[in-house]
């Protein structure tokens, strides 16, 4: 039987640590190929992608991936739970994925499973709500509730990568068709997820020197990095300021109900509208809305949902299409995908007669406009753009 591993990622940007993860996945599973589900023009951290999705897909294929599929915007910009469930559903819909490999600070799969099971308990959610009444953020309340059960579980979710790993394990139980996919935890090495101190790749004599994507983004924007990829059209979160200001002005003028958008509660909606209309930077707007309860990541994701018209309930809808961004010609993974995929496959928007990928097209059009406003360069039209193919 052909064994195909799945990886869920952003690759923003793709770097040596990502290539290491793909190689380790193949080594540890003996997989015949790797299918990656990758975020498109907007990220889970609530920002536009640092690099265009096709550039990232090409880097991933050149770095060892066999097939790269786009994670639809409603999942890509969701909380960790929605992100994981949507991506796991997409891998399941490929019909050929046997393993899900993810990076984590720990490779103790049993501890990760135990934490995932605890997070699924209704009693834990009730305990977390009680801590939130004390003024804790959702993340802090969840940590406190887990701490009361087992400090080791609370330590697990302190890392964003571990938190995603736990959500992947939950998603394998809840996403349609994903129950038979085997999880694999690959221990992360190199810089911490949030570490913004850039170190050249391999600077510590090998994998220990892998930088974080955050540090590369920061170094590029500060003019201190000139690695392998073309960063001339790199996106800055501040590019969201102008379209968001226009959107919020329109919503305020029409009296729209912001609570209709994903991740926007009544209290958060009130804070957003109190800060709008605004004239200033994206960072300044975030500072005016963020509180101990509403974290920066939550606020930025809410802004992306508002910009992209992602409504409550959208993230609960299962994937409807499989959009190909890049592939390795002749790969067993590509052949298995072609034979067994359970959803319509889209190679370019012009072939999408049913309009299944309209959400992806809308998000990409907005991203293109922001890049043009910042750099004066028009990216290729997504409507006719074809996937990157690495020829044999």
Q: Which residue has the tokens 């977390």?
A: 128
- State the Cα–Cα distance between residues 166 and 85, nearest whole angstrom: 11
Query: pLDDT-based confidence at 205, cuts 50/70/90?
Result: very low
Non-local CB neighbours of 176 within 8 Å, separated by 6+ positions = 89, 92, 318
- Alpha-carbon distance 189 to 205, whole Å? 13
**Can you tell me the distance from the alpha carbon of 184 to that of 101, in angstroms, rounded to the nearest whole number?**
5
**Residue 304 — very low, low, confident or very high, per pLDDT cuts 50/70/90?**
very high
Stretch 213-233: mean pLDDT, rounded?
Answer: 84
Residue 65 and residue 33: Cα distance in Å, rounded? 7
In this predicted structure, the answer to whether residue 207 has a pLDDT above a threshold of 50 is no
Per-position DSSP letters for 336-390, written without gaps between them: HHHHH--S-EESSGGG-TT-TTHHHHHHHHHHHHHHHHHHS-PPPPTTTPPPEEE
Q: CB within 8 A of 18, min separation 6: which ones?
A: 9, 11, 60, 63
Nearby residues of 311 by Cβ (< 8 Å), 6 or more positions away: 260, 261, 262
Compute how many other C-beta atoms are within 10 angstroms of the C-beta atom of residue 250: 12
Residue 313: pLDDT over 50: yes
The DSSP bridge pattern shows strands 67-71 and 322-328 to be antiparallel
- Tell me, what's the pLDDT at 85? 96
The domain spans of the chain are: 4-105+160-235+315-390, 113-156, 237-314
The yes-or-no verdict on residue 1 having pLDDT over 60 is yes
Among 17, 33, 124, 24, smallest CA distance to 390 is for 33
Q: What per-residue confidence (pLDDT) applies to 202?
A: 47
May I ask the CATH architecture of the domain 4-105+160-235+315-390?
3-Layer(aba) Sandwich (3.40)
Q: Work out the average pLDDT over 78-82.
A: 94
Q: Give the 3-state secondary structure of residue 183.
A: strand
Average pLDDT over residues 201-206: 44
């Amino acid at each position: 039987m052909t064994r195909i591993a799945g990886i869920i990622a952003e690759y923003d940007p793709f770097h040596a640590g990502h290539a290491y993860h793909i190689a380790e996945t193949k080594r540890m599973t003996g997989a015949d190929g790797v299918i990656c589900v990758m975020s498109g023009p907007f990220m889970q951290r609530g920002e536009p992608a640092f690099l265009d999705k096709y550039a990232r897909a090409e880097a991933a294929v050149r770095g060892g991936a066999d097939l790269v599929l786009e994670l639809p915007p409603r999942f890509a910009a969701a909380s960790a739970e929605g992100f994981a469930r949507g991506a796991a559903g997409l891998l399941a819909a490929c019909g050929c994925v046997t393993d899900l490999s993810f990076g984590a600070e720990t490779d103790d799969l049993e501890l990760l499973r135990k934490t995932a099971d605890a997070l699924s308990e209704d009693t834990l959610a009730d305990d977390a709500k009680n801590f939130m009444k004390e003024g804790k953020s959702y993340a802090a309340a969840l940590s406190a509730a887990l701490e009361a059960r087992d400090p080791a579980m609370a330590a697990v979710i302190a890392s964003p990568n571990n938190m995603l790993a736990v959500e992947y394990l939950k998603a394998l139980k809840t996403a349609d068709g994903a129950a038979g996919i085997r999880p694999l935890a690959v221990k992360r090495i190199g810089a911490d997820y949030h570490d913004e101190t850039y170190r050249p790749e391999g600077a510590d004599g090998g994998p220990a020197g892998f930088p974080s994507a955050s540090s590369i983004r920061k170094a590029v924007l500060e003019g201190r990095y000139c690695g392998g990829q073309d960063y001339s059209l790199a996106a800055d979160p501040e590019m969201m300021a102008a379209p968001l200001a226009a959107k919020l002005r329109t919503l305020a003028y029409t009296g729209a109900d912001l609570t209709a958008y994903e991740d926007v509660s009544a209290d958060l909606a009130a804070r957003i509208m109190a800060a709008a209309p605004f004239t200033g930077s994206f960072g300044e707007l975030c500072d005016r809305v963020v509180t101990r309860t509403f974290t920066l990541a939550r606020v930025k994701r809410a802004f992306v949902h508002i910009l992209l018209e992602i409504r409550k309930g959208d993230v609960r809808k299962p994937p409807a299409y499989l959009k190909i961004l890049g592939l390795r010609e002749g790969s067993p993974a590509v052949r298995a995908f072609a034979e067994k995929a359970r959803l319509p496959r889209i190679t370019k928007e012009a072939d999408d007669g049913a309009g299944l990928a309209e959400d992806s097209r809308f998000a990409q059009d907005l991203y293109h406009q922001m890049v043009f406003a910042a750099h004066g360069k028009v990216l290729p039209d997504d409507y006719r753009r074809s996937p990157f193919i690495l020829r044999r």
